[in-house]
């Protein structure tokens, strides 16, 4: 039995149930949307959702977990933690069209745009799906190709989709996620170039880019920096 989550005009989620003959797995399709929230290490990352129109669906707990994982990594690269020099990094913004592409890729593997980047992660679990998400995300640290994509500084947009499955006989559950990115590393591309931006001239990947102090990115609107929030902001490149 397949459950499709849909968004109503009032922003509520509805479930469409489609029976599939001979199926032993229950699939619950969960669509994820996140955008970048940038904060200091002593400040918890917060989710900022770009949910324009009717194209985005959000499960907040899953969105927060994946948002923190993605943007925490990119934040550390840009800032240069652990004695490493900071590097040029572009803000990663959630894109509803890439979310749709990820959803389609789950249903029809190989249907995605070949020029886009792809990361998959999955795992079996019992108990809380949210707690399991933390463990499943942690498996990405040992996936070199996934780490290259998630921290790829030229990527500016991404979208993710996932599903939860339960085996009717054993009760064991499994989560599977797919994230698609607007840019991916080329074979043999040197990812060590660039430096942490201090001025617009340091943002070299896209013409017209700016180096800005940001706390959050929401669509194309960058949050204003005030004396109260300045300590929680850091510099990141933004495309024109």
Q: What is the DSSP letter of 147?
A: H
Is the Cβ–Cβ distance between 202 and 78 less than 8 Å?
Answer: no
Sorted by sequence, the CB contacts under 8 Å of residue 214 that are 6+ apart come out as 38, 91, 222, 223, 225, 233, 234, 235, 236, 238
pTM: 0.70
Residue range 2-238, CATH number: 3.40.33.10
Residue 187's contacts (CB-CB under 8 Å, 6 or more residues apart) are none
Other residues' Cβ atoms within 10 Å of the Cβ of residue 2: 16
Encode pLDDT of 62-116 as tens digits: 777 777 788 778 888 888 877 788 889 887 777 788 888 998 999 999 999 999 9
Query: What pLDDT, in 10s, does the model give residues 172-210?
Result: 899 999 999 999 999 888 877 678 888 999 999 999 998
Question: 50 near 219, Cβ under 8 Å?
Answer: yes
Angle at 131 between CA 157 and CA 90, to 5 degrees: 20
């Amino acid at each position: 039995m397949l459950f499709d989550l849909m968004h109503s005009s009032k922003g509520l989620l509805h479930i469409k149930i489609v029976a599939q003959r001979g199926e032993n797995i229950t699939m619950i399709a969960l669509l994820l949307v996140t955008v970048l929230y940038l904060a200091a290490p002593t400040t918890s990352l917060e989710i900022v959702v770009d949910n324009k129109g009717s194209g985005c669906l959000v499960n907040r707990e899953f969105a927060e977990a994946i948002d923190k994982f993605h943007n925490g990594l990119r934040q550390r690269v840009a800032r240069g933690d652990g004695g490493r020099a900071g590097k040029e990094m572009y803000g990663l913004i959630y894109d509803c069209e890439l979310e749709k592409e990820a959803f389609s890729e789950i249903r029809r593997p190989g249907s995605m745009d070949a020029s886009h980047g792809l990361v998959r992660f999955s795992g079996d679990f019992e108990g809380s799906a949210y707690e399991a998400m933390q463990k499943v995300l942690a498996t990405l640290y040992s996936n070199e190709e996934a780490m290259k994509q998630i921290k790829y500084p030229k990527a500016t947009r991404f979208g993710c989709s996932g599903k939860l499955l339960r085996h009717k006989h054993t009760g064991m559950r499994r989560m599977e996620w797919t994230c698609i990115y607007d840019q991916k590393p080329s074979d043999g591309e040197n990812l060590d170039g660039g430096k942490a931006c201090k001025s617009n001239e340091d943002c070299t990947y896209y013409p017209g880019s700016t180096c800005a102090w940001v706390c959050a990115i929401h669509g194309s609107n960058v949050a204003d920096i005030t004396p109260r929030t300045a300590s929680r902001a850091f510099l990141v490149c933004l495309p024109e």
